[in-house]
Amino acid sequence: MDNTLLYSIESFPPLRESITKINALCSGKNIDVKAFTRIIESDPVLYIDILHFSNAPRHGFRHPITSISQAISLFGIPAIRGMAITAALKAHPFTDLSAYGITMEEWFKVMEIQQQFLELWLGKKHPVILQQLGGLTFVLEIGRLVAAYVLMFTNNNARFTTHEPLSLLLEEKKVIGNSGDELAAKLFQLWYFDDTFVDALRYSMNPAYGLEPQTCAALMCTRFLFALDGIKPFEDIEPLLERFDLQSADVRKAYTTLVKK
């Protein structure tokens, strides 16, 4: 990565200070749950957004969730961390995705359905994979925002012509020099996100090179099916499922559940 790109990434407006504190807590082996809770409770933006997400009708809880402690016990720390990152992004000062021909609202909707899909697919039968991802499932398309910022910072007026994941990755490399995923992975590395999180993001479209290829393949399947320009046929990911020994029936069930909504 050349110095201009690195400087662009380093200048990207930081997420809220609360996220930095959360990352510091999550970097250790034993997370202080009480301290984690206090950080979120002390940040009104994270607090309100996490409770709003936790009480979404799709979760089907009979009684409202009224505290962060409740939310943590129901969803787990990795998921709450993902919700916190999402809340921080919603409050972020940079909101221009015009290079991709989409709005911030559309971008968040894509990531929301991607997260729902991974939760339905992996939540019960592969919880370890969700644990490893540490909240990345909430922000799979973060690279688009970082790449758009780099274009703005370098006065590059380029506009991307495709939303197909692999073609877009190649176009980003051609226009910027690195893919949006690579840029975002470097940014998250600078922000002291853990190595597993950074690696999964960097190789979410190149699973064979990741530390956990099967985990990266699950992300790639998700991004293929729920792309920036809409939902794609399930058959598109069947070769990928076979290659990385992922159970097709579980994936199809999650996909069908969402598509039928």
Chain centroid to Cα 194, Å, comes to: 14
pTM across the whole model: 0.92
**How far, in Å, CA of 38 to CA of 59, rounded?**
24
Sketch out the chain's domains with CATH numbers. Answer: 17-90 (no CATH), 99-259 (1.10.3210.10)
Contacts of 121 (CB under 8 A, 6+ apart): 218, 250, 251, 253, 254, 255
Q: Which residue has the tokens 């790109």?
A: 5
Query: Cα–Cα distance between 200 and 181 in angstroms, integer?
Result: 10
pLDDT in tens, the chain (261 residues): 788 889 999 999 999 999 999 988 887 778 899 999 999 999 999 999 999 999 988 888 888 999 999 999 999 998 999 999 999 999 999 999 999 999 999 999 999 999 999 999 998 788 888 877 878 999 999 999 999 999 999 999 999 999 999 999 999 999 999 999 999 999 998 888 888 889 999 999 999 999 999 999 999 999 999 999 999 999 999 999 999 999 889 999 999 999 986
